Structure 1
Amino acid sequence: MKYDIIVLGSGPGGYVTAIRASQLGFKVAVIERENLGGICLNWGCIPTKALLKSAQVYEYLKHVDEYGLKAKEIDKDFDAVVKRSRNVADGMSKGVQFLMKKNKIDVIYGFGKLKGGKKVVVTDDQNKETEYSADHIVIATGARSRELPFLPIDGEKVIGYRQAMTLPKQPKKMIIVGSGAIGVEFAYFYNSMGTEVVIVEFLPNLVPLEDEEVSKQFEKSFKKSGIKVMTNSSVTKVDTSGKGVKATVKTKNGEEVIEADILLSAVGIKSNIEGIGLEDIGIVVDKDKILVNDYYQTNLPGYYAIGDVVPGPALAHVASAEGITCVEKIAGLNPEPVDYGNIPGCTYATPEIASVGLTEAQAKEKGYDIKVGKFPFSASGKASAAGTKDGFVKVIFDAKYGEWLGCHMIGAGVTDMIAEAVVARKLETTGHEVLKAIHPHPTMSEAVMEAVAAAYDEVIHL
């Protein structure tokens, strides 16, 4: 079979690439070894949000009296929560199947391996091999949990994010190693469900890529909710010989042994680039990533790579944008390269975190003279009415030209608010323009305007 474009992998990078290619008139096939939608739809972004929503609703029910309401015998059903999450994931995956049919994209199930001459050999579940060719092949094979040498994942006592979503029973105590988005989202979920949670983070702050003030507020909120936080700490040894897990944790005060039912390793991800033929055909790889140019062309003509397998943030929305840019360039359009300085990052624990652009420390390191504004949700009428007063919006502007350098939010619903900053930065909006754009009241989003007003010494409600 000959195609114009073959996409290897059907995650939010792969399936979006395929659909855009089809819209542009190409004959397209997608090769998928497991489920349409990839990790994001089946084992990542979407089902985790379903788990987190159940946890959030349960939290509301536990504090129902704070809203002047009464409820008796509030409890959770862990199995039902997990089942709901899986149903949500299944529904989303079926949605991608519909999109493939609608856009006349062929779905080929099996493990794809690249060959020279722009060919892919697909091995199906019956071990039958079939060869396909295309003018252009896009590699979008994604990533999986990274394993540390002293922390091998056995799938039972030491687990990755996939097992954390479908545990047969709720653990009484859990150790989570790593406090990036995956680590803290599961920490929030299991803590809300009643599991005793300990987070071990090697760096000085939780969510270490965030602005330091956000990290400190987040740690404060987590500690308040009963999660034990161990920063500047690392797991050096794990013993799984007994009933549960014994983790030896090195801290600045010495070593400590922590016992738990399960340890979740959330120390990052590893690109899925093994066994797909990269070495055979000579595609250049460096530090676990396929090297590409601004339009995702590898060193071999006709072979491209996007998403978690290339350098840059390993985020679903980034993979989608890269795939669209890639195929639009193939089609002879003139797409703008992806602006990696304007990528929003979101963490969906409670409180939520959302950010884009430079942190305050990064802006200073780059030599900017800056204006910084902060507006706490404790001063927001909407937040007070909703009972979600934790957190704030922080904005950073270049004092000379008014350029919006960074925006950092922590609080309820902020992942739905960050797009304002992303669009404004894309349009090169200045601080005064944001300030004079009337925001609706009462909303959480008006905190953005208030934070900008604070940066320019015009704040009203502080």
Structure 2
Amino acid sequence: MGGVSAPTPDPQAARVVVVGGGPGGYEAALVGRRLGADVTLVERAGLGGSAVLTDVMPSKTLIATAEWMTIADRAPELGIRVDGLGSPEQVRHRIDLGAVNTRVKALAAAQSADIRARLEREGVRVVVGSGRLDGPAHVIATEAGGRESRFDADVVLVATGATPRVLPDARPDGERILTWTQLYELTELPERLIVVGSGVTGAEFAGAYTSLGADVVLVSSRERVLPGEDADAAELIEGIFRARGMTVMSRSRAQSARRTADGVEVTLADGTHVAGSHVLLAVGSVPTTTGLGLEEAGVRLRSSGHVEVDKVSRTNVRGIYAAGDCTGVLPLASVAATQGRIAMSHALGDAVTPLSLHGVAANIFTAPEIATVGSSESQLHERDVPYRVSVLPLARNPRAKMLGVRDGFIKIFAHETSSTVLGAVVVGPRASEAVYPLTLAVTHRMTTDQLAEASTVYPSMSGTVAEVARMLHHRADD
């Protein structure tokens, strides 16, 4: 079959320049072309940005492999035996990390290539290089060889993302002291991996490497892992971490990390030294906004370096928009993509609904996963919202029993008087998929009765969603 030729931009069309090819950037570029604009996208590392190349897709691919290891560990319990081996205790699984990381990088590269092919098919001009603003209406792209191109712009979208934060006395070297973008160069499983930081990234990698067979030490400056998440979910995950052999050092702040003769040594604020073969720094990220000419163009930045935007992704400078992690709105690829689409629709005069985070679902890819949507219990407390809560463990679910699933629960928060679903927490296998009906309920302000009345398959994990909703039923005479 013949290829489809790219549409030729109208010479009178609006000129759009997108700086950054991650979800916020490439989604905006596609919307711009659909609305008839002449679109140029400048990206230095590869289409898809860090979400595809060094962050979301690679990490979740690695975690998917780790998940298979936890499933395989349950095989003897389900009556599965491996021919040629005696007792269940003799069944062992070994990971080939070099092969895993080769696959991780190949999948990321393939996804990046697919995104580029689609952009070019839609008529987006892709420039490989670093972009910076030259005033509010011009962008300069510098290619690898130093060649510069200057593009006039009626609309500029900045979607440059963020980079891993490092500690002053713990500089990554790509070999023993690593950020999460550098893990995929490892060819052998670390003997003892010290993970500094117990937020989402730290917890995900600590859990994954434990499942892969590494000895993991998780250094947490807070009282518990995942301090920003639902307390019950975080407590359950920390208990599972410890049961799987992970060492969790709570209320321990890392001060420095240095190479030793055969590994690394992390020094804590209280003077304690922790030795390991490798250290992963998972202490947050910083927006990629320096050196882009933003302030020179008059764009207002917050003290953190994030670009200030409103709910349609506008900055304070007419014609300049921003999307994604560089704005600090919510560090999710789905939110970045939504911001980019909204920005372009608004800039080009299309109908647009301002960004709302009310129904945004988020997921932590530990084993089990933690998915959340809507208001958390702490937020409801802070806002003094009258609410009721209902929760059931997954272990009671018949489908969970069949699959050998013991850990996890479903929790729903509902308004005290209206019974509107305000928020939910799902902890369990594939929670990222199971949260969807609850996302619909929160987004469309459904009541718990409406959620409970929808039919569910028996047996299914989703049956517990309906059961938890039924527990929140208000009698008519209440």
| Pick aligned residue for 1:211 from 224, 230, 248 | 230
The more displaced of 212-221 and 226-235 is 226-235
Matched, 1:451 2:468: yes
Q: Please give the residue correspondences for 1:237-386 in structure 2 after superposition, counting only pairs within 5 Å.
A: 237-250=256-269, 255-286=271-302, 287-386=304-403
**C-alpha distance in structure 2 between counterparts of 1:457 and 1:401, whole Å:** 9
Q: Matched residues in 2 for 1:191 and 1:93: separation?
A: 29
SS in 2 for 1:425: helix
SS, match of residue 280 in structure 1: coil
CA contact (8 A) 2:135 2:293 kept: no
CA distance in 2 between partners of 1:95 and 1:281 (Å): 34
In structure 1, stretches of 5+ residues that fail to align are: none
Aligned to 1:121: 140
Shift of 1:241: 4.1
| Count of residue correspondences | 455
Cα shift readout 1:334-367 (whole Å, capped 9, x = no counterpart)? 3121112332111112110100122222212211
Alignment partner of 1:7 out of 15, 18, 26: 18
Match runs of 1:118-197 below 5 Å: 118-197=137-216
Deviation per residue, 1:163-187 (Å, 9 max, x gap): 1122132210011111222111211
Secondary structure (helix, strand or coil) at the match of 1:278 reads: coil
Q: CA deviation at 1:457?
A: 8.0
1:415-430 → structure 2 map (5 Å cutoff) = 415-430=432-447
Letter aligned with residue 29 of structure 2: A
User: Does the 8 Å CA contact 1:3/1:133 hold for their aligned counterparts?
Assistant: no
Tell me the CA shift for residue 269 of structure 1.
0.8
Q: 1:380·1:389 contact (CA, 8 Å) conserved in 2?
A: no
1:204 is paired with a residue whose SS is coil
Normalised to the residue count of structure 2, the TM-score between the two structures is: 0.91
Q: How far apart, in 2, do the equivalents of 1:219 and 1:354 lie?
A: 16
Give the Cα–Cα distance (whole angstroms) in 2 for the partners of residues 457 and 44 of structure 1. Answer: 44
- Paired residues of 1:177 and 1:235 also in contact (CA < 8 A): yes
Other-structure match for 1:18: 29
My pick for the range that moved more, 58-67 or 294-303, is 58-67
Corresponding residue SS for 2:185: coil
Structure 1 counterpart SS, 2:471: helix
User: What is the identity, as a one-letter code, of the residue corresponding to 1:324?
Assistant: R
Query: Equivalent residue of 1:339, what SS?
Result: coil
How far has the Cα of 1:190 moved from its partner? 1.3
- Establish whether residue 228 from structure 1 lines up as the match of residue 241 from structure 2: no
Answer yes or no: is the 8 Å Cα contact 2:412–2:424 preserved in 1.
yes
Cα distance in structure 1, aligned partners of 2:73 and 2:198: 26
* Deviations, residues 81-110 of structure 1 (Å, cap 9, x unaligned): 111111211221121022112211110010
Q: Distance in 2 between matches of 1:457 and 1:262?
A: 54
Give the letter aligned to residue 273 of structure 1. T
One-letter code aligned to 1:356: V
User: Does the residue aligned with 1:126 lie in a helix, a strand or coil?
Assistant: coil
Q: For residue 194 of structure 2, give the secondary structure of its aligned residue in structure 1.
A: strand
Counterparts of 1:424 and 1:74 in 2: how far apart (Å)?
41
CA distance in 1, matches of 2:400, 2:56: 26
Q: Which amino acid aligns with 1:219?
A: E
Q: CA deviation at 1:240?
A: 2.1
The equivalent position to 1:100 in structure 2, one of 108, 112, 119, is 119
**What's the CA shift for 1:118?**
0.9
- 2:229 counterpart SS class: coil
- Provide Cα deviations, 1:346-390, integer angstroms capped at 9, x if missing partner: 111211010012222221221122110001110111111111221
- Deviation at residue 255 of structure 1 after TM alignment: 4.5
Offset from partner CA, 1:24-72 (integer Å, 9 cap, x none): 2212111010111111111111121211121122333333222212225
1:117 positional shift = 4.7
| C-alpha distance in structure 1 between counterparts of 2:323 and 2:256, whole Å | 36
Distance 1:43 1:3 in 2: 33
In structure 2, distance between residues paired with 1:204 and 1:333: 48
> Following the alignment from structure 1 to structure 2, what is the Cα–Cα distance between the partners of residues 25 and 151?
48
- Letter matched to residue 274 of structure 1: T
Distance in 1, Cα, partners of 2:425 & 2:267: 35
Amino acid of the structure 2 residue aligned with 1:98: A
Q: What is the alpha-carbon distance in structure 1 between the residues aligned to residue 348 and residue 441 of structure 2?
A: 29
SS of 1:94's equivalent in the other structure is helix
Q: Distance in 1 between matches of 2:435 and 2:252?
A: 31
Q: Deviations over 1:295-317 (max 9, x none)?
A: 11111111111110113111100
Q: Which moved more, 1:2-11 or 1:96-105?
A: 2-11
Structure 2 letter corresponding to 1:405? L
Q: Contact 1:373 / 1:453 at 8 angstroms: preserved in 2?
A: no
Secondary structure at the residue paired with 2:150? strand
Q: Is contact 2:136-2:319 (8 Å) kept?
A: no
Structure 2 residue corresponding to 1:68, chosen from 79, 91, 114 = 79
Segments of 5+ residues of structure 2 without an aligned counterpart are: 1-10, 86-91
Asked if the contact 1:5–1:27 (Cα under 8 Å) also holds between the matched residues in 2, the reply is: yes
Distance in 1, Cα, partners of 2:339 & 2:146? 32
Distance in 2, matches of 1:112 and 1:190, equals: 36
Q: For the aligned residues, what is the CA RMSD?
A: 1.8
What amino acid sits opposite 2:347 in the alignment?
A: I
Inter-partner Cα distance in structure 2 for 1:160 and 1:115: 32
Task: After TM superposition, list the pairs within 5 Å mapping 1:27-46 onto structure 2.
Answer: 27-46=38-57
CA contact (8 A) 1:351 1:391 kept: yes
* Matched residue, 2:89: none
2: CA distance, partners of 1:207 / 1:150: 24
Shift of 1:203: 1.7
**After superposition, what is the alpha-carbon deviation per residue over 1:400-458, rounded to whole angstroms, capped at 9, x for unaligned?**
11121110111111111222222211111111111111222211122211222233389
Cα distance in 2 for partners of 1:441, 1:337 equals 39
Q: What is the rounded CA distance, in whole Å, between the counterparts of 2:192 and 2:93 in structure 1?
A: 21
Q: Find 1:395's aligned residue among 406, 412, 429.
A: 412
Q: Distance in 2 between matches of 1:85 and 1:202?
A: 30
